[in-house]
């Protein structure tokens, strides 16, 4: 059996995503744009901050005036939000953090270094240099500057940066409508009574969570019985209204694994045996003209193949410039002698700076993924001893 390296499949998957037809973008109020992918660049039409302002509560002055004498009358009081009159030579202004610097002033002395004498004048205890405690106009952003290029997935602080420029609407990639189906005669939906030989459909919920977290619209395609005619009908119907179908199960080479056959006859099929554990069987195909990503049935394999292969397809399809997971080198806190033929993406817990395996690693076991803080890559053919640096993929990155 020839196993396909994960990266080879990933390249084909990314290529497939990039060849999908362009979709119209969506204009959203900034408040709803978190996590969305910018469809076009954003430029600022103003400087931020828009005017010189004070970094301190204190006194604004012309720094040169201090050479003549260290006491100046207080000519005005400037709080944040005011538009101050110019500062007359030989005077100073009471000023507060964020308030505009009056024309003519070039420095602010903090109030701790100023004493107010009996006549109400400000006595400066130290020399003041030009520019001191002044936040200059445009220090953060310059008019015309590109804040973000298209493809940026918006973080909370990005929303703040965009808002600081006075912009309240952004153009983002339209979320995809994604049909999710689970194949298998053994599946029951949770909430119904368990019956002999049956198990509950967990993949549907894992996939729902993964897709919702990515801001995509999930269309529930239900359970597909192991019946080729039914599977074909349901897939074709779902394909009519969806941009993508994600399935789990039925892509091995068992007698009841019909998905491959249906895609081959009614669309397109690339079926891989991936050099990855968990998650060997993986399908990239099409039902009529709708893309289908066929995941294995085992619950841990669903999680891992989604994160390594489906998420990059989605992000690439949506035009994101960052679509690959970030691995961090972390020291192993365990011994691993079972070097296999496939790269293993083990569920792992980062504890006190060392990685531990988080329980049972079988592809049918999902609870160890809930105990884990991420995945650790155990490369094919490599044994691991404590202290060895391994690629760690934290869930904080994988699941965002």
Q: How far is CA 65 from CA 58, 111, 133, 176, 179, in A?
A: 16, 17, 17, 64, 72
Is 248 an interacting residue with respect to ligand AMP (CB under 6 A)? yes
CB nearer to Mg ion: give 35 or 222: 222
Binds ligand AMP (CB under 6 A): choice among 260, 296, 319, 394: 296
Is 209 an interacting residue with respect to ligand AMP (CB under 6 A)? no
**How far apart, in whole angstroms, are the C-alpha atoms of residue 166 and residue 101?**
21
Is 201 an interacting residue with respect to ligand AMP (CB under 6 A)? yes
CB nearer to ligand AMP: give 105 or 275: 275
Q: Which of residues 296-315 bind Mg ion (CB under 5 A)?
A: 297
Minimum Å distance from CB 215 to ligand AMP? 23
Binds Mg ion (CB under 5 A): choice among 100, 151, 184, 221: 184
Is 297 an interacting residue with respect to ligand AMP (CB under 6 A)? yes
Taking contact as CB under 5 A, which single stretch among the options 162-170, 291-299, 300-308, 347-355 is the one that binds Mg ion? 291-299
**Interacting partner of 248 out of ligand AMP, Mg ion, none (Cβ under 5 to 8 A depending on kind):** ligand AMP
CB nearer to Mg ion: give 172 or 302: 302
Q: How far is CA 257 from CA 109, 180, 254, in A?
A: 77, 17, 5
Query: Around 60, how many Cα atoms within 13 Å sit in the side-chain half-sphere?
Result: 31
DSSP string, 181-207: EEE-TTEE-BTBPP-TT-EE--HHHHH
Secondary structure of residue 315 in the 3-state scheme: helix
CB nearer to Mg ion: give 254 or 381: 254
At how many degrees (to 10) do helices 259-266 and 228-241 cross? 60
CB nearer to Mg ion: give 158 or 257: 257
Q: Which residues in this chain contact ligand AMP in the complex, by CB under 6 A?
A: 182-184, 186-187, 199, 201-204, 248-250, 252, 254, 296-299, 364
């Amino acid at each position: 059996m020839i196993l396909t390296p994960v990266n080879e499949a990933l390249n084909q998957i990314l290529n497939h995503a990039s060849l999908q037809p362009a979709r119209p973008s969506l204009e959203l109020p900034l408040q709803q744009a978190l996590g969305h992918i910018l469809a076009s660049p954003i430029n600022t039409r103003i400087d931020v901050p828009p005017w010189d302002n004070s970094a301190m509560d204190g006194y604004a002055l012309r720094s040169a005036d201090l050479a003549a004498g260290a006491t100046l009358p207080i000519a005005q009081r400037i709080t944040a939000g005011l538009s101050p009159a110019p500062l007359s030579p030989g005077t100073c202004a009471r000023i507060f953090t964020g308030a505009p610097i009056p024309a003519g002033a070039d420095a602010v002395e903090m109030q701790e270094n100023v004493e107010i004498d009996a006549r109400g004048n400000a006595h400066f205890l130290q020399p003041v240099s030009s520019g001191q405690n002044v936040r200059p106009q445009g220090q953060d952003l310059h008019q015309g500057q590109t804040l973000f290029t298209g493809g940026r997935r918006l973080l909370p602080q990005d929303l703040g940066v965009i808002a600081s420029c006075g912009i309240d609407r952004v153009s983002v990639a339209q979320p995809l409508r994604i049909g999710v189906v689970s194949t298998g005669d053994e599946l029951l939906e949770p909430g119904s009574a368990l019956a002999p030989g049956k198990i509950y459909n967990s993949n549907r919920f894992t996939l729902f969570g993964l897709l919702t977290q990515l801001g995509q619209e999930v269309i529930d395609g239900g359970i597909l019985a192991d019946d080729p005619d039914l599977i074909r009908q349901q897939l074709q119907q779902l394909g009519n209204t969806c941009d993508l179908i994600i399935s789990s199960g039925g892509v091995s080479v068992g007698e009841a694994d019909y998905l491959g056959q249906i895609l081959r006859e009614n669309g397109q099929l690339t079926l891989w045996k991936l050099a990855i554990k968990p998650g060997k069987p993986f399908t990239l195909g099409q039902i009529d003209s709708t893309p289908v990503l066929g995941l294995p049935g085992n619950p841990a394999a669903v999680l891992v193949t989604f994160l390594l292969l489906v998420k990059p397809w989605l992000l690439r399809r949506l035009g994101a410039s960052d679509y690959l997971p970030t691995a961090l080198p972390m020291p192993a806190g365990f011994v691993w002698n079972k070097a296999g033929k496939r790269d293993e993406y083990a569920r792992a817990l980062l504890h006190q700076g060392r990685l531990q395996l988080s329980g049972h690693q079988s592809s049918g076991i999902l609870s160890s993924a809930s105990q884990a803080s991420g995945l650790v890559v155990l490369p094919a053919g490599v044994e691991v001893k404590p202290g060895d640096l391994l690629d760690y993929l934290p869930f904080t990155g994988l699941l965002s």
